[in-house]
Chain A
Amino acid sequence: MLQILDIAKPFGDLDRPVDAETERAVTRWLYTEARLLDAERYQEWLDRLIDPEIHYWMPDMETRRRDDPRGTFCYGEAAYFDDTHKELTIRVRRYNEPSAWADNPATRHAHLISNIEVNETDVPGLLAVHSAFTNVRNRNEADQDIIHGRREDVLRVVEGGFRLVRRRVFIVQNVLLSKNLNTFF
C-alpha cells in the first residue's frame, strides 16, 4: 500500500502547497461535500465524491498521559468509523429507510469547513488535504449537538474533479457529548 493511503499514518510536514487554481478546486469540492451532507444527500455523496477504495476512519480519542506510548488514538482500537465503501454503503442504506427514527423528523445539519490546506504528495494524482470542521446538528425543538474536529483527507484527482480515498477524522471530545452520530464528517 502507498504510505500516503495508510490510515494509521499521519501526514508529514504540509510544506508542498499546490498552486492557487488547484487549491480553489479542492476548496470548491469540500464545500460541495458539506452542502450535500447538510442536505442529507448521502447517496449522492457516496456516488459522486467517494472513491471505491475509500478508508474512512474516526477513532475514539482517549485521555492519556503525554508520556504514554499509546497516544491519544491508535489504529485498530475503538473507533466511531473504520469504514470501507461497503460499510459506508450500509450506513447510507439506513438513512434511506423511512423508519430511521433518529432521522425522522429530519435533523437540521450545518457542516462548516475551514483551515483548508492543500498539498502535493509523492504520488502524482493524490493530494493531501487538511481541514477543520464544525458540525452542528439540531433536532426537534432544542436538541443540539456541536462537534469540532480536524480532517486529514487524501483526494484522488479524477476526470472532472476529485474522489475521497482516505479520511482521518479527529474530534476534540473524549466522552462523545451526543447520543448518536447520525451524520458524516
Chain B
Amino acid sequence: MCEGSECKGAAKGRPDMKPVYPKAGSYPEFATLVNRDNAQVDRRVFVDEAVYQAELRQIFARAWLFLAHESQIPNPGDFIRTSMGEDDVIVVRQRDRSVKAFLNSCPHRGNRVCMVDAGTKARGFICNYHGWSFGIDGGLRGTDGKVYEKDEHFEKAQITLTPVAQIDSYKGLIFATFDPDAPSLADFLGPFTFYLDIMLDNDEGGTEFIGGAIKSEIDCNWKFPAENFVGDILHAFWTHQSGAQAILGGGVDLGKRYDELAFQASVYGHGIETNLDKVGNTRTLGYPELVDYTFDLVEKAKDRLGDVRSRAIGAVSSCTVFPNFSFLPGQNTFRVWHPRGPGKIELVVWTLVNKNAPDHIKEMYRKGVMMTFSPGGVFEMDDGENWEYSTRVNQGFVTRQQPLHYALGMGSVDLDRDLPGHIHKGSLNDANQRMFYTRWAEFMQHDNWTDLQNGETAPPEKSVKVAAE
C-alpha cells in the first residue's frame, strides 16, 4: 500500500504499483569459495542452494543479460518470451521501433500473460485468469467487466507489466538488466566489444538469427557450460574426438602456428579463446563450400577488423559473455544457459549469420549447427553428460569438500600483445576460467557497481586505449 511521501501517481488509499527492483547484498563467505591464489574453485558453488539463491540476487538480478537478436522481432508487436535468470520475460517491438521487455506476470494475481514462445504483430497480452489486458508497451488497457471502472481505489494508469530497469542493444544483440544502477551496456561489456565484433561486424549489413530456437534441459549447474565456452578448448580433443572423426575423418587440429597465434582474452569475466587458424571451427560443420565462404570472408574482413580478428571469424574458438551467454565463432551457434536451480539449466540455441550471406550459405549454417551443436549434434551430444556428472557428484558430502583444479597456464600472462583485456598465451589454458570465477566472486562480494567495475577483472589500462582506436 501507498505510504509516506514517496508515493507518486497513486491517490491516497490506492495501492502503489511501482516496479520493485531488488537491492544487492554482499556475500563475502561465498566470494571466498573462489581461491585465486591456488587457482581452485570450491565445489559448493555448483550445488549449494544458498549460493544459488545468492547468484539469482547478485548476478542475474544485476548483470546485463542477453534477451534476443533484433532480427527475431522485426516489426511492431513482434515478440518473444525468454528468461532473465529464472524470471520469465516478454521482449516486444514497439510502434516507434524501440524494444521493451517486461516480466511475464500479471500484477493482479501473478499469472503469466503470455504462454507462447513467440508471435508476430501482437496488439497486446491478455491474462487468461481475469482478462486484464496489456498493450505492447506494457500498460494496462482494460479489465474484464466493468467492476473496476466504478471502484475509486482502482487507477488503471499506474498499473503496468513490470518493465526491466534498462534495455539496450549492441550490434543487433538486445540485452537488459533489472538493476537501475547498473552501468550502461557499453560499460558492462567494456572493451570486450572488440572481440564481439568478430562475429557481429565482420561484414557490412549486420547479422541475423535464422531458423528459430532449439531448447533443451541439462541437469547441470549453469556455470559448467558457461566456463566451458569462456575458455575450455582443451575438452574438444577428448570429449569431441568421436564427432571430429565422424565429420572430419580426424581429430581436432590446432595447426603448426598454435604457439605463435593462439590466445585467451578476458574483460569483466567475459572471455574468448581463439587459435586464429581462420577456418578450424567452420570446417567442423562439414560443408567445404562454407569453408571457402569463410576464407573469402577472412580476406574481405581484414579492412574492417584487422588481421587478428579477421583470422578469428572461423577459427577454433569459443566465447562467453558473463554470466550465461555464449557462442562459437565459425560454427555460429549462439546460446543462453538459463539457470533452473543449482542442478539444472534450460539451454536455448540459435544460429547467427551475416544478413548479406547468400541463401544457400545460410542454409548450410542452419544444417551445420543442427549436425554439430544441437541436442542431436555429433559434438553437443557428448557435452551434456560431462556437465551433469561434474554437477551431480557433489551431492557427495566428502566429494564436495575437494577443491577443483583450475591451474593450467598460471604463468602464461601476455603483457606484450597489443589486444584489449587480460591476455594469456595459448588457448589451451584455464586463464579465462579463472577470470570468469573471479568475476563471479566479485559479484558475490560487492553490493555496488563502483567496486564491481574496478576490481581484478576490469580491463587493464592499455586495453581501453586499444579498443578506442
A residues apposed to B, CB below 8 Å: 58, 60, 62-65, 68, 70, 74, 76-83, 87, 90-91, 93-94, 97-102, 139, 143, 174-182
Contact = CB atoms under 8 A, between A and B. Distances in A.
B94 to A, nearest CB: 20
A94 B212 contact: no
Given A102-B382, A176-B217, A179-B217, A77 B212 contact: yes
B371 A90 contact: yes
16 contacts: A76-B211, A78-B213, A78-B374, A79-B211, A80-B214, A90-B246, A93-B245, A97-B242, A97-B245, A100-B382, A101-B242, A102-B382, A176-B214, A178-B375, A179-B375, A180-B216
Contacts of B238: 99
B117 A62 contact: yes
Contacts of A82: 367, 370
Given A76-B366, A93-B246, 11 more contacts: A62-B116, A77-B211, A78-B214, A78-B374, A81-B370, A91-B376, A94-B378, A97-B245, A101-B239, A176-B215, A181-B381
A62 B381 contact: no
Contact of A81 (B219, B242, B243, B376): B376
Given A65-B116, A77-B211, A180 B246 contact: no
Interface string B98-137: 0000000000000000011111100000000000000000
Helix, strand, loop or mixed for chain B's interface? mixed
B380 interface: yes
B374 to A, nearest CB: 6
Contact of B246 (A74, A91, A101, A178): A91
B385 interface: yes
Interface residues of B, number: 42
Contacts of A99: 238, 241-242, 245
B350 to A, nearest CB: 8
Nearest to B380: A180
Contact of A101 (B219, B286, B374, B385): B385
Given A87-B367, A181-B381, A78 B211 contact: yes
A94 B218 contact: no
A79 B381 contact: no
Contacts of B370: 78-82
Contacts of B351: 78
A141 B291 CA distance: 42
Nearest to A87: B371
A91 B376 CA distance: 9
B384 interface: yes
Nearest to B216: A176
B414 interface: no
Interface in B402-458: none
A34 B449 CA distance: 58
B346 interface: yes
Nearest to A176: B216
Contact of B384 (A81, A83, A180): A180
Which residue, of B218, B239, B370, has the highest number of chain A Cβ atoms within 10 A?
Answer: B370
B413 to A, nearest CB: 33
B247 interface: yes
Interface string B229-268: 0000000001101110111000000000000000000000
A62 B246 CA distance: 30
A93 B381 CA distance: 14
B116 A63 contact: yes
Given A68-B119, A76-B211, A91-B246, A175 B346 contact: yes
A56 B219 CA distance: 28
A60 B213 contact: yes
Interface in B354-396: 366-367, 370-371, 374-376, 378, 380-382, 384-386, 388
Contacts of B286: 90
B246 to A, nearest CB: 4
A142 to B, nearest CB: 11
Contacts of B386: 101
A174 B213 CA distance: 11
Interface in B317-331: none
B119 A64 contact: yes
Contacts of A143: 388
A63 B385 contact: no
A15 to B, nearest CB: 33
B346 to A, nearest CB: 6
Contacts of A179: 216-219, 375, 384-385, 388
A99 B212 CA distance: 31
A81 B375 CA distance: 10
A100 B382 CA distance: 7
Contact of B217 (A64, A93, A178): A178
Nearest to B350: A78
Given A78-B211, A80-B214, A80-B370, A62 B375 contact: no
A98 B238 CA distance: 12
Contact of B214 (A60, A63, A97, A98): A60
Nearest to B349: A78
Contacts of B246: 90-91, 93-94, 97
Contacts of B115: 63
A11 to B, nearest CB: 24
A38 B25 CA distance: 53
A80 B374 contact: yes
Nearest to B389: A140
Contacts of A178: 216-217, 375
A132 B397 CA distance: 44
A76 B367 CA distance: 9
A73 B366 CA distance: 15
